[in-house]
Amino acid sequence: MSLLESPSFKTTNTIIKSHTLPNQSYILSLASLDNFYAASASAPSNAIFLFDKPSLQCVQTLQGHETANTSLRTITNLAGSNRQMLLSSGKDGCVKAWDERSGAVSVKMTSSGRSQALLSCDASNDGLTIAAGTDLQKEDAFVLYWDPRNPVAPLRTHGSTHSDDITAVHFCKRASSSAPSDVLLSVSSDGLVSISDAHEPDEDEAVLHVGNWGCSVSQAGWVHTQSGTRVWAASDMETFSCWSNELDPLSDLDIRSPSVHNQQRTWVTDYLIGCHNDGRLDSGLGVFVGSNEGDVALISSSNLSNSAASWSLHSTWTSGHAGVVRSLHWDQDNEILVTGGEDSKINLWRCPSLDSTSLSDERNLDDDDMDTDSRGNQSLKRDWDDGMDIEEAGGKRAKR
């Protein structure tokens, strides 16, 4: 497979704003509220920091979780609230919905009985169901479901979906004929990719589709396109896969394989940071990858269903981090890319706009045409759709 430099390729090496977290904490996850960026920090702080968007000044610090934050999401309409809130999970066995106005926990959901570390969480479209995935203790790993209006104990506890750490859970946020609304995607270190009916009380009937990748799965998400809905997944070994809405395997590749080597630049991927769903692209997905030196690139496949399909390099952001970039968020409204790394830095970058027509055109070019046209073709302006969060902090990451 090849990685071809896009005719509209842009590189950015100037940071707009930067902030460094205290105590050398990693930035595990990033999210966005109307006026703030939120950053979830690793130990020793385990706090959630809120930053003013224009200035990137820290305006508030939320306590976070007692033991290790594991995921951070932006949700709307929790229990009919009709407003944005932060939802987080932690190894203290809690899912917390935060009211940033007071700096306090609005809703706290805990498992009944034995406390078990939670590695991932999400909320349904209507805000009436919260799901979380646990780690493995003894022989059990559970998908837990709560009604946030009655958060004292889970509504349902499903223990047969996975047999190891459940690293990511995502509700399907865009209903279609191929993927009903509010079904839950879950992945695990057991190698399984599963789709379940979140409202089915009978655990034996809840799992709708299962795919076995055969490797520890660290991240996953939905891919929405005009032609239907699919699933992407990433492993601890930096392999990347695409699945049908019924979890038939479509493609499987090492994300480090596509690389660029030409007279102008070299790009070699070391790891996957996360993916960005955009239904207006033919492939439906922008893939953000990083280098061990701290650079970031945006690439996309011409056909996610074909492991041998060519890929395009659209943008790079360089010289902003020292080491691995752990998290990333695309702020569509303000055309800002937010990155967070193991160097404790959160950076704001200008994010070049991409045009779906331009991307579609370049997928129709052969390799020779791409080489010729890469010297000056101009893309049309567009916005990306941030319907899916980029990074799931609950996933395990292989050592670099």
**Residue 385's pLDDT band (boundaries 50, 70, 90)?**
very low
Return the pLDDT at 339. Answer: 98
Q: CA 365 → CA 5, 36, 141, distances in Å?
A: 12, 41, 47
- Is residue 386, in this structure, part of any structural domain at all? no
Return the pLDDT at 284. Answer: 78
Q: How far is 122 from 110, CA to CA, in rounded Å? A: 14
Quick count: other Cβ atoms within 10 Å of Cβ 135? 20
**Residue 368's pLDDT band (boundaries 50, 70, 90)?**
very low
**Residue 396's pLDDT band (boundaries 50, 70, 90)?**
very low
- Is residue 185, in this structure, part of any structural domain at all? yes
Locate 141 and state its tokens: 């790993």
Residue 308 has pLDDT above 90, yes or no: yes
Number of domains the chain is built from: 1
- Is residue 380, in this structure, part of any structural domain at all? no
Return the pLDDT at 125. Answer: 87
Return the pLDDT at 228. Answer: 82
3-state secondary structure of 319: coil
Return the pLDDT at 175. Answer: 58
- Is residue 276, in this structure, part of any structural domain at all? yes
The CA-based angle 51-332-218, given to 5 degrees, is: 80
User: Looking at 61-65, 189-193, 260-264, 306-310, which range is the least confident one?
Assistant: 260-264
Return the pLDDT at 196. Answer: 96
Quick count: other Cβ atoms within 10 Å of Cβ 263? 5
Return the pLDDT at 279. Answer: 59
Q: Which residue has the higher pLDDT, 264 or 275?
A: 275
- Is residue 389, in this structure, part of any structural domain at all? no
Share of the chain above pLDDT 90, in %: 70
Cis before 7? omega within 30: no
Query: Which CATH number goes with the domain that contains 182?
Result: 2.130.10.10
The CA-based angle 221-284-223, given to 5 degrees, is: 25
- Ordered alpha helix ranges (H), the chain: 203-206, 356-363, 367-373
Return the pLDDT at 77. Answer: 86
pTM, rounded to two decimals: 0.86
Residue 382 has pLDDT above 60, yes or no: no
Alpha carbons within 13 angstroms on the beta-carbon side of residue 81 total: 19
When the pLDDT of each residue in the chain is averaged and rounded to a whole number, the result is: 86
DSSP state of 271: E
- Is residue 398, in this structure, part of any structural domain at all? no
Q: What is the pLDDT of residues 131-186, one digit of tens each?
A: 999 999 889 999 999 999 999 999 999 999 999 999 999 999 765 545 556 799 99
Locate 276 and state its tokens: 């960005």
The pLDDT of 344-358, averaged and rounded, is 76
**Residue 323's pLDDT band (boundaries 50, 70, 90)?**
very high
Q: What is the pLDDT of residues 221-233, one digit of tens each?
A: 999 887 788 999 9
Q: Which residues pair with 76 in a beta bridge?
A: 84
Phi-psi region of 323 (alpha: psi -120 to 50; beta: other; left: phi over 0): left
- Main-chain phi, psi angles of 194, to 5 degrees: -130, 145
Q: How far is 122 from 86, CA to CA, in rounded Å? A: 10
Q: What is the pLDDT of residues 61-110, one digit of tens each?
A: 999 999 999 999 999 889 888 889 999 999 999 999 999 888 999 999 99
**Residue 380's pLDDT band (boundaries 50, 70, 90)?**
very low
Share of the chain above pLDDT 70, in %: 84
- Is residue 379, in this structure, part of any structural domain at all? no
| Residue whose C-alpha is closest to residue 210's, from 237, 156, 249 | 249
- Main-chain phi, psi angles of 357, to 5 degrees: -65, -45
Return the pLDDT at 362. Answer: 45
Please answer whether residues 192 and 174 qualify as being in contact, where contact means their C-beta atoms are separated by less than 8 angstroms: no
Alpha carbons within 13 angstroms on the beta-carbon side of residue 215 total: 16
Q: How far is 222 from 219, CA to CA, in rounded Å? A: 11
- Is residue 399, in this structure, part of any structural domain at all? no
Domain range for 239 is 3-373
Return the pLDDT at 359. Answer: 46
The pLDDT of 301-330, averaged and rounded, is 94
Edge to edge, what strands does the sheet with 94-99 contain? 69-76, 84-90, 94-99, 104-110
Q: What is the pLDDT of residues 16-58, one digit of tens each?
A: 999 999 889 999 999 999 999 999 999 999 999 999 999 999 9
**Residue 218's pLDDT band (boundaries 50, 70, 90)?**
very high
